[in-house]
């Protein structure tokens, strides 16, 4: 049986019972990790499979399709990290109009009871679900008492005296505060993906780049950065990174471009992770390519200097 399922409807996946945790899990920060680890520990103690329920697209993206809020983690990375935390199955439920019309009780009966035979359900603080967000922990507990499962809410996780949240992480990223983002995530902030072919303009300008597309997702940050690329070899590569729409060359779609210092090789088709260390400046439009190249030289020199003094090598 596949460890991933997408649909609300279908036959039983855990006929002998399961322990379920539910969340959007965007970023999979320390609070999310605490929830998942607790559910996994309970599942192991009860000798049942641990199941994580999440959604694609994220609910906040579905309801704001014309102005999608920034996403912290790609769908693939979210699944990989959830599995790495010990989940046996993941329900990546299709968040569509049909699901938004499903009230809280129907969701519980169809998914938690019929599909997963839940014995315990774990959620984070303030969890809401079902049509018009009509379900909460008290609804879960009431239905659980009727249908044969226990529902629990974990305590919030705090860092620097405040609750860890995806909103706090987005705010930190937007101002280039990567140290705070790392404390909230429990790891360095990265964007991962498969390297695609671009227009090769960077190569012509003396700065060949590894390019990652960011189509259909709103970036959580933008500008020019110093960072490191993981997955290009046995070590991480110091890099200068541009993430934006490239206004000088009339770009439109967000593109992440990483120039790996002193790298020789072909990265096309390879999966890499780009770690952000320091924000250098905003993206800007120059009068022409000579002015752009002059600024690229300055950015590269600044990034090299910053990275030579930064001794952080942690990456999860």
Report domain extents, the chain: 4-159, 188-309
pLDDT in tens, the chain (316 residues): 689 999 999 999 999 999 999 999 999 999 999 999 999 999 999 999 999 999 999 998 888 877 778 999 999 999 999 999 999 999 999 999 999 999 999 999 999 999 999 999 999 999 999 999 999 999 999 999 999 999 999 999 999 999 999 999 999 999 999 999 999 999 999 999 999 987 777 777 788 999 998 766 788 999 999 999 999 988 899 999 999 888 777 667 789 999 999 999 889 999 999 999 999 999 998 888 889 999 999 999 999 999 998 755 434 3
Per-residue pLDDT at 48: 98
Cα–Cα dist 21/41, whole Å = 12
Burial class (CB in 10 A: 0-12, 13-18, 19+), 259: buried
Per-residue pLDDT at 245: 84
Locate 238 and state its tokens. 């110091």
Per-residue pLDDT at 315: 41
Locate 145 and state its tokens. 């008492």
Per-residue pLDDT at 1: 61
Locate 263 and state its tokens. 């790298």
Cα–Cα dist 92/111, whole Å = 12
pTM confidence score: 0.91
The CATH T-level fold of domain 188-309 is Elongation Factor Tu (Ef-tu); domain 3 (2.40.30)
CA neighbours closer than 13 Å in the CB half-sphere of residue 93? 28
Per-residue pLDDT at 214: 79
pLDDT tens digit string along 219-273? 899 999 999 999 998 889 999 999 988 877 766 778 999 999 999 988 999 999 9
> What's the CATH superfamily of 4-159?
HUPs (3.40.50.620)
Cα–Cα dist 98/108, whole Å = 15
Per-residue pLDDT at 218: 81
């Amino acid at each position: 049986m596949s460890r991933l399922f997408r649909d609300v409807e279908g036959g039983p996946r855990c006929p002998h019972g399961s322990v379920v945790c539910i969340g959007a899990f965007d970023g999979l920060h320390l609070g999310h990790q605490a929830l998942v680890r607790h559910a996994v520990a309970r599942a192991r103690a009860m000798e049942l499979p641990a199941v994580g329920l999440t959604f694609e697209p994220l609910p906040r993206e579905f309801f704001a399709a014309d102005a999608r809020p920034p996403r912290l983690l790609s769908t693939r990375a979210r699944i990989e990290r959830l599995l790495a935390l010990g989940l046996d199955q993941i329900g990546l439920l299709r968040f569509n109009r049909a699901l938004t019309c499903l009230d809280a009780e129907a969701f519980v009966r169809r998914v938690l009871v019929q599909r997963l035979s839940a014995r315990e359900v774990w959620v984070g603080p303030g969890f809401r679900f079902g049509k018009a967000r009509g379900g909460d922990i008290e609804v879960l507990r009431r239905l659980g008492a009727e249908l044969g499962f226990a529902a629990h809410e974990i305590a919030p996780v705090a860092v620097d005296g405040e609750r860890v949240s995806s909103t706090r992480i987005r705010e930190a990223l937007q101002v280039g505060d990567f140290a705070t983002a790392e404390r909230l995530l429990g790891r360095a902030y990265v964007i991962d993906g498969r390297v695609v072919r671009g227009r090769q303009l960077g190569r012509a300008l003396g700065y060949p780049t590894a390019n990652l597309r960011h189509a259909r997702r709103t970036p959580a940050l933008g500008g020019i950065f110093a960072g490191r690329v993981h997955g290009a070899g046995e070590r991480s590569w110091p890099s200068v990174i541009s993430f934006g729409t490239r206004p000088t060359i009339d770009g439109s779609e967000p593109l992440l471009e990483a120039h790996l210092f002193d790298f020789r090789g072909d990265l096309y088709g390879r999966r890499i992770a780009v770690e952000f260390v320091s924000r250098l400046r905003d993206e800007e439009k120059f009068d022409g390519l000579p002015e752009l190249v002059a600024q690229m030289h300055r950015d590269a020199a600044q990034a090299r200097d910053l990275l030579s003094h930064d001794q952080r090598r942690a990456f999860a």
